[in-house]
A and B are shown apart, each in its own frame.
Chain A
Amino acid sequence: MTIDSVRGAPDTTEAAEPELVQLLTPEGERVEHPDYPLDLSAEEVRDLYRDLVIVRRIDLESVALTRQGELGIWASLLGQEAAQIGSGRALTEHDMVFPTYREHGVAWCRNVEPLNLLGLFRGVNHGGWDPAEHGFHLYTIVIGSQTLHATGYAMGVQRDGVLGTPSAGATIAYFGDGATSQGDVNESFVFASVFNAPIVFFCQNNQWAISEPLERQTRIPLYKRAQGFGFPGLRVDGNDVFACLAVTRKALENARTGQGPTLIEAFTYRMGAHTTTDDPTRYRLKAEEEAWKLKDPIERVKSYLVRNDLADSGFFDKVEDEAKQLSRELREACLALPDPDPMTMFDHVYAERHPLMTEEQEQFAAYLASFEEESK
């Protein structure tokens, strides 16, 4: 007898929970939602399409680079492009992003060079971009840790007294369905709630935490958890870039004007493996992947553009060429990334001089130099 047969199946499916904000159907049909009016120009839609195509292409290139041994590992965003581009393009200058390690699409929106991301997965550094410069914090590998950093940052924004002014920035924390089981994520919900912090919790529910299905993390739809913590939660079609843009815009604006946190559950699907070392054939059915393929986030925007005569084949070819060119350049730049000088291991451990760093660095330098002398 299974646990489910005793307690009844968990109520986590889309069918059991029809409340899903959607503005663009999988067939590319525009639908209206009373709470989320969205007026996009043809150019804005084309720009979103371009973003989606480019980040998918960069992602595919990175997977290929990993297969060829040029990256140590890669966490693919395949299938989650709309969730990331939609929310990423909702951000404005003063907003601050706290990503996991899969937010390549959001990084793109924040002008973090894709090469920087590859550097991390190639092993030349642990990140290395300046979070303040991009409004995009470093990738965080430990699941859920960044949600607390985001909450603290939002509490700082609150203390700066800028909420409600033009220089107000919201904070957005990205995490996945697996992370919702972490203590840190739940603690961040508590802190954000009791301090009414200007934060948006953006959960990409891609249905899988490596091999564990959503049912192993929750028995209720994730967005409903917000209610228990005392702030609004909603579920959005995570493969609908329009809807993701609209709901995130609204949640960010609520945060900036002092109305506190929102939990957005972007209902999506991880089309690829968890990372390049993972093998989804061991734990999930091909049929499930096929079903989600029909909800592809890029195809529906393309259908919308074609259906409404907003783009011609010349446009689609141009975007395709641009994406290919970018990934070619990225590949070349990746292969040309120099390995770091081993002596730099000791840099940036401390801000101020630290005798042990100095001592070990000097000893190591002398050790390395001894080989050079021998070979003379």
Chain B
Amino acid sequence: MTTLTLGKAMNEGLRKAMENDPKVLVMGEDVGKLGGVFRITDGLMKDFGEERVIDTPLAESGIIGTAIGLALRGYRPVCEIQFDGFVFPAADQIITQLAKMRMRSLGAVSLPVVVRIPCGGGIGAVEHHSESPEAYFTHTAGLRVVACSNPVDAYSMIQQSIASPDPVIFFEPKRRYWEKAEVDVDSSDWTPLHQARVVQPGDHVTVLAYGPSVKTCLEAAAAAAEEGRSLEVIDLRSLNPLDLGTVVDSVNRTGRCVVVHEAPVFSGFGAELAARITENCFYRLESPVLRVGGFSTPYPPSRVEDHYLPDLDRILDAVDRTFGW
């Protein structure tokens, strides 16, 4: 076991993938000598060379577009989008090309490209550096979308994503980069990539989260426990495909569900969860599925972001409301 921050676990996972497969490339803005603005690719250029760790021109569409071409030539590019809000110049290549080329070729073409996106708020950043754009990508057929929440998953999920023959959008919770945990870097006995995990068993209310919100939900569960409420917290880990079975089993037991994410609630991923839970657990539900998330506003200036982001109190408030029906 090694104590690693989430950021360092990402770095170790990338390193392992590059060691295991010479076709794995890392590319993005400042990923080389600098090691990325969050240092996730620190030391990789030094150890694997400029041919495999590519400091690209400052053009996100160019990064994804050329990654597609590299994948067509047999490489497995891992692209870093520097911040969530900068993925939009690349959205065209991701949505119209990366996601669809396999079907366009009737299965002849696979594009094993990973797009890493540090996401979410809470770091006091300027505009476009705190967003949660996952729903744009879960809505796009042909992409796999995952979100890690802790160092253990960061280490394994990045390697699993790189091994996937399908394109994977990989969300990293940037404000959790410095969270530490014990990681067994020699083991490859990992939870399957697209399997959700019950991170806190409980009986009264199911709380669904992913990425940076998982930790907040665990804190809410601890606070609720003091008041005699038992929350079951599930880390979804994968948004597309979604491990609905784990969710349905839990909600069928608890009869109550709160979904938490940083993205705006309106048309957010929670809407999909609420609809599917309603369809699958209708007769077991004691209350509607409630959603806690960002407001339907642009991400606010950082001095008020604590009010925008779902915190412990807003989660507990929603939990309380599920008992009001």
Contacts and interface: CB of A to CB of B under 8 A. Distances in A.
Interface in B75-98: 75, 89, 92-93, 96-97
Contact of A129 (B68, B102, B105, B144): B105
B107 interface: yes
Interface string B45-56: 000000100001
Contacts of A138: 101, 104-105, 109
Contacts of B97: 140, 142, 145, 149
A149 B72 contact: yes
Given A128-B105, A129-B108, A190-B57, A148 B72 contact: no
B65 A352 contact: no
Nearest to B65: A148
Interface string A296-335: 0000000000000000000000000000000000000000
A183 B89 CA distance: 9
Contact of A148 (B68, B75, B142): B68
Interface in B91-127: 92-93, 96-97, 100-110
Given A148-B93, A149-B72, A152-B72, A191 B105 contact: no
B56 A184 contact: no
A76 to B, nearest CB: 22
A194 to B, nearest CB: 6
Contact of A184 (B62, B70, B75, B107): B62
B144 A350 contact: yes
A342 to B, nearest CB: 14
A106 B166 CA distance: 29
A159 B72 contact: no
Contacts of A187: 57, 59, 61-62, 65
A13 B165 CA distance: 48
Given A126-B103, A129-B105, A151 B65 contact: yes
Contacts of B164: 351-352
Given A142-B96, A352-B165, A152 B102 contact: no
Contacts of B69: 148-156
B189 to A, nearest CB: 20
A187 B58 CA distance: 9
Nearest to B59: A187
B303 interface: no
Contacts of A356: 240-242
Contacts of B65: 145, 147-149, 151-152, 184, 187-188
Interface residues of B, number: 45
Contacts of A128: 104-106, 108
Contacts of B301: none
A368 interface: no
A72 interface: no
A131 B75 contact: no
A344 B31 CA distance: 40
B45 to A, nearest CB: 15
Contacts of A347: 103, 106-107
Interface string A117-137: 000000001111111110001
A183 to B, nearest CB: 6
Interface string B150-191: 000000000000001110000000000000000000000000
Contact of A132 (B61, B108, B240): B108
Given A151-B65, A187-B61, A187-B62, A159 B75 contact: yes
A148 B61 contact: yes
A305 to B, nearest CB: 39
Interface residues of A, number: 43
Contacts of B70: 152-153, 155-156, 159
A152 B104 contact: no
A341 to B, nearest CB: 13
A148 B102 contact: no
Contact of A155 (B64, B66, B142): B66
Nearest to B75: A156
A152 B73 contact: yes
A151 B66 contact: yes
A251 to B, nearest CB: 18
Contacts of B75: 156, 159
A349 B103 contact: yes
A335 B164 CA distance: 39
Contacts of B144: 350
A259 to B, nearest CB: 19
B165 A153 contact: no
A348 B74 CA distance: 19
Contacts of A130: 105, 108-109
A194 B67 contact: no
B275 interface: no
B1 interface: no
Contacts of A350: 102, 142, 144, 166
Nearest to B112: A351
A355 interface: yes
A160 interface: yes
A297 B102 CA distance: 37
A222 interface: no
A355 B240 CA distance: 9
Contacts of B73: 152-153, 155-157, 159-160
Contacts of A184: 61-62, 65, 92-93
A132 B65 CA distance: 18
Interface in A151-208: 151-157, 159-160, 183-184, 187-188, 190-191, 194
Contacts of B25: 159
27 contacts: A126-B100, A126-B103, A127-B106, A128-B106, A129-B108, A130-B105, A131-B109, A133-B108, A147-B65, A148-B93, A149-B69, A152-B66, A153-B70, A155-B66, A156-B72, A156-B73, A160-B73, A183-B61, A184-B62, A184-B65, A187-B62, A188-B66, A190-B59, A348-B106, A350-B144, A351-B102, A354-B241
Interface of B: 25, 51, 56-57, 59, 61-62, 64-75, 89, 92-93, 96-97, 100-110, 141-142, 144, 164-166, 240-242, 244
